Amino acid sequence: MPLQVMLTGANGFIGRRLASLLVEQGNDVVGLSRVEADVTDHRALLSQARPVDALVHLAFPTRASQRRGAPMEALRAVASGAGNLVALAVSCGARHLVLASSGKVYGEPGILPTREEHPRNPNTFLGELKVLQESVLELAARRSDATLGVTSLRLFNVFGPGQPAEFVISHLLEGMRRGGPIALGELDHARDYLYLDDACSAFAVALGSPPPLGEFRPLNVGTSRSASVMEILGIFARISGREPRIVMEPLRARPEEAAEEIADIGRLRALGWAPLVTLEDGLRSLWEGGQEGLDNKLAK
């Protein structure tokens, strides 16, 4: 059954592709960006209210440079944005709010792959901000008079076309294309990398299977496999026929972060979702410059 969905952060890396996918599936999508209403502006945001079935909250200060440069502003924006989204959901009559959260909420994982029951103990500012978002929405969902269910999609390292060069795979791709030295802080940290289209399909599956009203439902979104920076460079080398030139810069290192992150995706699989794009296919698509080749491969 088609849904009416309102989407914040609609002009962002995930938002643009997710909006297209939801429309392709026959849903009605209302996209909100800062042009229409900044999520931190309560009055402007509520002026966009209209009847919808669900809200998807993607708006977030995604660039690490933004968060480092103005940490208190990031805290204010995240907290007020989450609270305003609850008010917007009530005004819209939405029964489901889907949050783009992060696997960074877990911090140093006590077990791999990491399940949703793992304590939230972030060791990065990004993780702390995502816990803040989750906490506001969890409190709203679990009120005794709640008319809202919340799904928190804890995304592990999404990559794909259009991602800013600040992110690791985009940074590696740009360096390999340029042929010059690639500045890196570490080579061995391993992450669970998820292609953009698979991330978007997880949102679609979650929207199609909402939780009961009053429930806060966290769902990991990843591949249950990890790869290090060295492994990614090796794949790019095979694809391109070029050897990477690496320059180590200690200031780029992130010693506070976990050495390895892997998502347990059993809960989301139980809803019928599975990642379709392998890391190598996703990297090849990026190297070849777009989505068309990957679409043709998956259609065969």
Confidence of residue 68 (pLDDT cuts 50, 70, 90): low
- For 268-297, write each residue's pLDDT tens digit: 999 999 999 999 999 999 999 854 444 444
d(CA 297, CA 191): 25
Mean pLDDT, all residues of the chain: 92
In this predicted model, what pLDDT tens digit does every residue of 236-274 receive, in sequence order?
999 999 999 999 998 888 888 999 999 999 999 999 999
- pLDDT above 90 covers what percent of the chain? 81
Is pLDDT of 111 > 80? yes
* SS3 at position 276: coil
- Judge whether residue 137 has pLDDT over 90: yes
Model confidence at 298: pLDDT above 50: no
C-alpha distance from residue 297 to each of 14, 125, 190, 292, 294 (Å) = 22, 38, 27, 9, 5
Residue 82 has pLDDT above 90, yes or no: yes
Calculate mean pLDDT across residues 187-208.
97
- Whole-angstrom Cα distance, residue 5 to residue 56? 7
**pLDDT confidence band for 73 (50 / 70 / 90):** confident
Which pLDDT score is estimated for 166? 86
Residue 59 token pair: 């708006």
Task: Locate all alpha helices (DSSP H) within 93-167, ordered by sequence.
Answer: 125-141
Residue 148 has pLDDT above 50, yes or no: yes
- What is residue 269's DSSP assignment? H
- pLDDT: which is higher, 151 or 72: 151
Amino acid 278 reads T
Sequence-separated (6 or more) residues with CB below 8 Å from residue 154: 101, 102, 103, 105, 116, 130, 218, 219, 220, 221, 263
Q: Output the pLDDT for position 254.
A: 86
Question: Pairing mode, if any, of strands 227-228 and 190-191?
Answer: antiparallel
- Across residues 113-123, what is the average pLDDT? 97
Helix (H, G, I), strand (E, B) or coil at 159: strand
Say which amino acid occupies 16: R
Q: What is the pLDDT of residues 16-60, one digit of tens each?
A: 999 999 999 999 999 998 888 889 999 999 999 999 999 999 998
Q: Is the pTM of this model over 0.75?
A: yes
DSSP string covering 175-233, please? HHHH-SEEEES-S--EE--EEHHHHHHHHHHHHHSPPPTT-EEEEEES-S--EEHHHHH
Q: What is the pLDDT of residues 202-228, one digit of tens each?
A: 999 999 999 999 999 999 999 999 999
